[in-house]
Structure 1
Amino acid sequence: MSDKNPLLRSDAQRNRDAVLATAMRLLGQKPEASIQEIADASGVGRTTVYRHFPSREDLVRALFAMVVDEQRAVVAAAIAEGDTAAAILRRLGPEIVGIGERYRFLDTHRDLVIDDPLKHPSPAEPLLAWLVAAHGRGEVRTDLPPDWSYAMIRALAVGANEEVVAGRRSPEEAGRLLGDTLVRAFTT
């Protein structure tokens, strides 16, 4: 789901990247921003935006793909540290909340995301693959199936981000609490 397209010329890739970065920033400030406003702010023409993203929905889907890619990268980086299951889960709490903060504006566009790959993960999904392996090593609770743990981690992450949006927790507190909850709920 990477936002890089190896078939694009370097200038076309730069334009696409500029549109995505600008859309992320602008839609975060003004969710109803038009394609024209995004084009103007990114320094490209509206036809260039439409060349890369034929509809607003395509643009939002590309932004959502960035979220998925970032989440996968964060999980992969945490796992690559080679730490204990508790340390990995504790680290993921603040990381996940941080991603939720950066992409919060996409919540208003969830109806445009038809196929959320994180809802129906493949066995290669980094978090699920790690949970399966950690389950096999007895590092996480073996009384909980790994796919269940994966689904519950996602649900807790959504809940933590909702606490931030509602103003009941700061992002830092929500991240720390999420990490602590993940450790207590899923490690042995």
Structure 2
Amino acid sequence: MSSKNLRSDARRNRDAVLATAMRVLGQKPDASIQEIADASGVGRTTVYRNFPAREDLARALFAVVVEEQRAIVAAAVAQGGTAAEILRRLGPEILAVGERYRFLDVHRDLVTEDPHERPGPEDPLLTWLTAAHESGAIHAGLPPHWAYAMVRALAVGANEEVAAGRASPAEAGRLLGETLVRTFTA
């Protein structure tokens, strides 16, 4: 259920559970629903009312990640600049989101099921890639949907390099931005 359709107290409870789940699962990815309920100050039944299964909680957390990523892209695009400048800004920003939500890797299989992951016409990254493609700022041979999928794949790969200890978050973010520039700009 969308938090927009809830009463204000129910929305606060749901938001508290999500915020707490992010913190608790970040420290202990296998934390129980009871541990999350205890830490959030609501009863276990409240957690289950909002998230009947652990997978529902994971999907809701993925939706938070998607919204945060969309906001980051929208902000980077709003700052303006060349395609290269925007892509260089996006690298570290996208990587930072992945770092904050690394605990969700345990539930990575849910990403392909999550309808929030499919770019809609209002998705800021797809919108920007389409406009950049049409203006000639992005390689003509790279359709926007392909470029969108590749940005996501490169971001996942960069996060995996950090998780494996082969790059620091700062270095991986810089390298991701540079890779995006070299891959996509005309």
Give TM-score, length-normalised by structure 2.
0.94
Which of the numbers 142, 145, 151 marks the counterpart of 2:143? 145
In the other structure, the counterpart of 2:23 is: 25
Output the CA distance in 2 between the equivalents of 1:113 and 1:138.
31
Output the CA distance in 1 between the equivalents of 2:34 and 2:41.
11
In the other structure, the counterpart of 1:167 is: 165
CA distance change for structure 1 residues 7 and 148 in 2, over 3 Å: closer, same or farther? Answer: closer
Identity %: 74
Which segments of 5 or more consecutive residues in structure 1 lack a partner in the other structure?
none
Structure 1 residue ranges (4+ consecutive) displaced by more than 4 angstroms after TM superposition: none
In the other structure, the counterpart of 2:81 is: 83
Moved more, 125-134 or 61-70: 125-134
2:3–2:14 CA contact under 8 A, matched in 1: no
1:4–1:13 CA contact under 8 A, matched in 2: no
Q: Which one-letter code corresponds to 2:160 in the other structure?
A: E
Moved more, 125-134 or 111-120: 111-120
2:111–2:117 CA contact under 8 A, matched in 1: no
Which of the numbers 68, 90, 95 marks the counterpart of 1:97? 95
Output the CA distance in 1 between the equivalents of 2:116 and 2:5.
26
Deviations 1:39-59 (A, max 9, x none): 000111111111111111111
Give 1 or 2: higher helix fraction: 2
Q: CA RMSD in A?
A: 1.6
